[in-house]
Amino acid sequence: MNSFARVLAMTAVLAPGVAAGAESARRLLTRLPRQLQLRQDGPRRYRFICDYLYTEPLGNPLWKERMSAEYTRTSAGGGARWSNVRIARAKGFEEPFPEGEVQPFMEGFEYVLGSAKDTLKPEFFRGFPAADMKPKNLVWDTHMIEDFAWRYFDKLELNRPYALQTAPEDVPLAGAGTFQNRRVELTWTGISKRADRICALIRYEAFGNKFEASAGNVIARGRSHYWGEIWVSLRDKQIEYATLLEDVLTEVSPPGQPAKQLFSVFRKGTFEPLPK
């Protein structure tokens, strides 16, 4: 058999499989499964790591911090619990992070999963340090990722951005200020795979957001761009992985100082299941 004949023979063998694979991919990309229910047999544990990179406005590095924590969703519609929450600090961006200091006030911090409005009230974070937003961000970011993964799932169409609101929306920061979401969009961008599970890949983004916060006599104002991706299992709607990126420019007004200070913070977070 000459070379050309061998190619024709191989094509004849492979063609049915390729066609079947293409048809399967076409079906998966036609639309997300409607009425897919979140299923969870027992507690599901995640590791959330979020790095804060502080720089001058032109990008010169100042220092960095890492928030790391274990998050447990005790049931599909029940409760949430935090443990092993640590904050680590390092001077140079190339330096490795130390293990970090445990945050005792968050050890065993538990609540019932419900409306996001509950987490925006000052009494929700009773016992938390008022001047540090990073521990609260763990709660808000996790709630955001879960909300984006589940609430709007049935509304998403392939490569068509879905806007969550028609006008800018002010969100209270548990008594510390206000964050304004200018326009949040979700987009189902395709099918991917995590931990041997076929997943819908959902992108979220919100640019040009404004905020104002205070801690004691210190007032901070600025803008935020944030975005990321979420891998949602098409079998049970569980979150198999998520990313968070945020670029923040902040103007700080220290008490008793006429000059305002300007600095930038870049956040990079990953949210992934821990082994059972």
Distance CA 144, CA 28 (A): 26
| Cα(213)–Cα(65) distance, integer angstroms | 20
| pLDDT tens digits, 105-145 | 999 999 987 767 889 999 999 999 988 899 999 999 999 99
- Model confidence over 169-201: pLDDT tens digits? 999 999 999 999 999 999 999 999 998 999 999
Cα–Cα distance list, 157 to 186, 187, 189 (Å): 10, 7, 9
The domain limits of the chain are 40-273
Q: Residue 223: what residue type?
A: R
Closest by CA position to 231, among listed 206, 197, 254: 197
Reply yes or no on whether the pLDDT at 25 is more than 90: no
Q: Is 211 left (phi over 0), alpha (psi -120 to 50) or beta?
A: beta
How far CA 247 is from CA of 52, 76, 114, 205, in Å, comes to 10, 32, 28, 12
